[in-house]
Structure 1
Amino acid sequence: MPQLLEWIEWLLSPVVGLINRVLWDYVLTYGLLAVGLYFTVRLRLLQVRRFPHMLTIIRRGTGGDEAGISPFQALCTSLAARVGTGNLAGVAIALSVGGSGALFWMWCTAVLGMATAYAESSLAQLYKVRDANGQYRGGPSYYMTRGLKRRWMGVAFALCLLLTYGLIFSSVHSNAIAQSLHEAFGISPAPIAIGLVLLTAAIIFGGLRKVARFAEWVVPFMSLAYLALAAWVVLTHLPQLPGVIALVLRSAFGLDAAAGGVLGGIAVAMLQGVKRGLYSNEAGMGSAPNVAAAATPVPHHPASQGLVQSLGVFIDTLLICSATGIVILLSGVLGQGGDGVQITQRAMMVFFGQWGVWFTAIALFFFAFTTIVGNYSYAENNLLYLGGGKRMLFALRVAALGVVVWGVYSKVALVWEAADAAMALMASINLVAIVMLSGVVIKLTRDYDRQLSEGKSPTFHIAEYPELGDGVDHEIWKERT
């Protein structure tokens, strides 16, 4: 097994490196921020002015129906995929390579990304369809096909997502789980691989609804427990907090290039912050819209589910990633070596001793495991878009389990580089699509804002927008009686 993996890695490394250099150095680092800024301006700071309303939607949206899961389940499922290795290991990697300033650029990616996440998930809701079982399906492939009338674009995106979420990303999370459990408890790779395969198989063979029910219970618990621990660290070290924030800001603009191992000042900090920010919150990548489309929105309007997914970006990056970053910077372990999750574990050890290492390992296991099953749900959705039947679905599940094993044994550097390359391809296609459909997003937002200002519970009626044509399922969005 190890020799085969080394041969595969030798073949993949040059290709992965080329993709990352071209797309990350010249396209996505600035493109993601530009698209987020574009939607922030066009939507008139929607992520700020509608933030209280997002919380109201979640309180109301706890019940689904026979066609779709609830908005709360959709949020938890998307958080299951978002809140994972990137929140613990990814933040540590960003800080160790890009310096303290990378955290600032993660914040920027999140604030602007909330608008991008709103746009893509609103489009996914608008252009969703019912499958053969009467359940909602949708996502970027669907709005590229039905909204842009470019099926080739939808097929290309679906293939990228199958590769990214169905395969590569699962290896990232299983790799982090293996490192973390070995560091904390000395467990060898073989039992970790066997355990992950058995647990993953038990859930993914149950379909999307089983994934949603699992996420609905696990994600809130694990997120609140982790945030509570980080909050205790911050509250007990408040005098040091202003210095940490100042360090982050100085490093972000290249004014403190020696701190935290910064290799190239502002450019490196921005690259690492944007890259790890996107990997964690997935805004603009086109992943969360797959589960956003599966929800029955409350209120009955595409924009409401866009607001729910925008809140997901806030929770993931501005809360959980920030908690990890500040704990690491307060601990003083940055620059002492180690791979991603090991840095986070050592930081927790500073404040909680060996118990902190154990807690981080357990937290990362739940974060990463829920991400594996959440990612699989995205892959399944796109396989169905491509017309895959029961045999292809079975093959996808087996392949996903095989990649989990590969991740346990693989080298951490190549795993993360492969994830970056796959993510870049997918995000590039999706960003082009949502910018091309930005006029539709604006129309949905104005309709939603108008109804709220009139004191109504917003409801979308397709009959009022005949210009959207036959790309929208009129049965789903017809006036309710």
Structure 2
Amino acid sequence: MEIVKWLNDTIIWGIPMLVLMLGTGLYLTFKTRAVIFTRFGTVMANTLKTVFRKPKEIAAGTITPFQAVCTALAGTVGTGNIVGVAVAISVGGPGAIFWMWTSAILGMVTKYAETTLALAYREKNAKGEYVGGPMYYISKGLGWPKLAYLFCLLTAFSSIGGGNIVQANTVAGSLKDAISIPALASGLLLAFFVALVVVGGIKRIASVAEKLIPFMSLIYTGAAIFILIVQRNQIPSALATIFTDAFTGTAAVGGFTGASLMYAARIGVARGVFTNEAGLGSAPIAHSTANTDHPARQGCWGAFEVFFDTIIMCTITALVIIISGTWKDASIDGTEMSNRAFSAVIPGGEYIISIGIVLFAFATIIAWYYYSEKAIEYIAGQKAILVYRIFFVASIVYGAVATLDVVWEISDLFNGLMAIPNLIALIGLVGPIVALTNDFFADPETIRPKDQSYASLLQIKPDNLSDKNEK
């Protein structure tokens, strides 16, 4: 495990990855003329304002744009927003939150770009379902099929690590602290309910996510905002601490051992990517199933996803924890840190955390299962899915009883490796990204025909965009 930690600290999440991750976001921001920010009102008009608008029709093999973003949010809004933020502050200091914000701001553009490409290069599988994601735009856009296969392998490993074992471990720890349920029992119960959902495919996964995510987001954010209102006088000080420590590092206080500027940046970016997944290429796999008229319209949902996940949810969690002072106690883990921060103001606040963790983690696991299923399908076809499904569900039980430090390090390793092929593709396909962006934002109010081809904007022949199964 020391080798894995060394790899994460020096290579996977060292200076090279920070430059690649943040640099890609900055490059895409420049090439798209920062349209996500200069036209932020348009982005919101095509996301929040359409949440309660019932679509007239849902094409076969697709789900609604809102279901798609809920499925993607299921993979992002979860333990990263609660425990991941606490872990980032506990090891990197409050300054790590600044670097989470930085990765999120640039990540909004990155997630927009990868979601747009996923819709542009998607196709239908043997079941008539739309499938897409980095493996398709790497293979069809860049013309590098081997890199697409590598991405799929890393996606499968990352799904087992960050999308499964980390979530199960956090659920088990939370339930053990709150109501003394043994970790093994938690793992078995979680595995059973996940199995019930994933056998139903994307339709059932999207249906569950559509109900769980808005419900739990409102409860959790409502409780956190209430705490901040009660302690509003301390918010300016907490924000000042975040900005100060981001550039100076954090000196040792209480049980906290201190953190350097570089370590705060490393932890902040890693935890930020863990929670919003911008640059990983995972969420676009879910977005690619959306029933939408233009790739960039769904890309707006990708940008909104990062904004809501990190800028809003992670920030309010961080402020609650920093104000509480629980981050200074090195003897407690991330779950207990959040429990104490909430229960200090709200009697029984630890139960809000426990319920939130269980439901968020459950949603995250089923979303990441879908990502990995599509990756396995791409590599080995649908015959291999059943075997992988059994392995995935069994891994939940292992995750429940594993050691927390080991789990997080493995998750960081595969998340970082998974991002590399995707970021290479985003840089290589900047031309189609810009072309699709210009086409959409020139007239975002016009609804295009659902069967409209964007082959000319992708600078490839129309034949390359046709369905494999029709060839």
Q: Can you list the C-alpha shifts for 1:33-62, whole angstroms capped at 9, x where unaligned?
A: 111111112212222233322333234465
Q: How far apart in 1 are the matches of 2:448 and 2:253?
A: 50
8 Å contact from structure 1 (residues 127, 471) kept in 2:
no
Partner of 1:369: 362
Q: 1:291 to 1:401 in 2, by over 3 A?
A: same
Partner of 2:304: 311
The question of 1:409 aligning with 2:404 is answered no
Q: CA deviation at 1:169?
A: 2.8
Q: CA deviation at 1:381?
A: 1.0
Q: Can you list the C-alpha shifts for 1:239-289, whole angstroms capped at 9, x where unaligned?
A: 111111111110011165345836343111111110100000000001011
* Pairing partner for 2:197 from 200, 203, 213: 203
Partner of 1:291: 286
Q: How far apart in 1 are the matches of 2:87 and 2:240?
A: 20
User: Which segment is superposed worse, 213-222 or 333-342?
Assistant: 333-342
Partner of 1:441: 433
Letter in 1 for 2:24: V
Q: 1:471 to 1:151 in 2, by over 3 A?
A: farther
Letter in 1 for 2:399: G
Q: 1:466 to 1:150 in 2, by over 3 A?
A: closer
Q: CA deviation at 1:474?
A: 5.2
* Pairing partner for 2:446 from 428, 431, 456: 456
Q: 1:409 to 1:45 in 2, by over 3 A?
A: same
Q: How far apart in 1 are the matches of 2:288 and 2:352?
A: 34
8 Å contact from structure 2 (residues 36, 303) kept in 1:
yes
* Pairing partner for 1:381 from 368, 374, 379: 374
Q: How far apart in 2 are the matches of 1:376 and 1:466?
A: 30
The question of 1:177 aligning with 2:167 is answered no
Secondary structure of residue in 1 paired with 2:110:
helix
* Pairing partner for 1:82 from 72, 76, 81: 76
Q: How far apart in 2 are the matches of 1:79 and 1:314?
A: 11
| Alignment RMSD (CA, Å) | 2.0
8 Å contact from structure 1 (residues 101, 253) kept in 2:
yes
8 Å contact from structure 2 (residues 4, 410) kept in 1:
no
Q: 1:373 to 1:413 in 2, by over 3 A?
A: same
Secondary structure of residue in 2 paired with 1:334:
helix
8 Å contact from structure 1 (residues 253, 265) kept in 2:
no
Q: How far apart in 2 are the matches of 1:68 and 1:108?
A: 33
Q: CA deviation at 1:167?
A: 5.0
* Pairing partner for 1:251 from 237, 245, 256: 245
Q: 1:267 to 1:18 in 2, by over 3 A?
A: closer
Q: How far apart in 2 are the matches of 1:471 and 1:379?
A: 28
Letter in 2 for 1:387: A
Letter in 2 for 1:358: Y
Q: How far apart in 1 are the matches of 2:4 and 2:54?
A: 45
Q: How far apart in 2 are the matches of 1:271 and 1:341?
A: 21
8 Å contact from structure 1 (residues 168, 403) kept in 2:
no
Identical pairs, percent: 34
8 Å contact from structure 1 (residues 69, 209) kept in 2:
yes
Q: 1:145 to 1:464 in 2, by over 3 A?
A: closer
The question of 1:323 aligning with 2:313 is answered no
8 Å contact from structure 1 (residues 71, 305) kept in 2:
yes
With normalisation by structure 2, the TM-score equals 0.93
Partner of 2:16: 27
Secondary structure of residue in 1 paired with 2:327:
coil
Partner of 1:269: 264
Q: How far apart in 2 are the matches of 1:278 and 1:126?
A: 24
Q: CA deviation at 1:470?
A: 4.2
Q: 1:224 to 1:263 in 2, by over 3 A?
A: same
Partner of 2:94: 100
Q: How far apart in 2 are the matches of 1:244 and 1:122?
A: 36
Identify unmatched segments of 5+ residues in structure 1: 1-11, 477-481
Q: Can you list the C-alpha shifts for 1:277-309, whole angstroms capped at 9, x where unaligned?
A: 000000000101101111111xx1111111111
With normalisation by structure 1, the TM-score equals 0.91
Q: CA deviation at 1:208?
A: 1.1
8 Å contact from structure 2 (residues 249, 264) kept in 1:
no
Q: 1:292 to 1:262 in 2, by over 3 A?
A: farther
The question of 1:50 aligning with 2:43 is answered no
Partner of 1:136: 130
User: Which segment is superposed worse, 134-143 or 18-27?
Assistant: 18-27
8 Å contact from structure 2 (residues 164, 365) kept in 1:
yes
Alignment length (residue pairs):
459
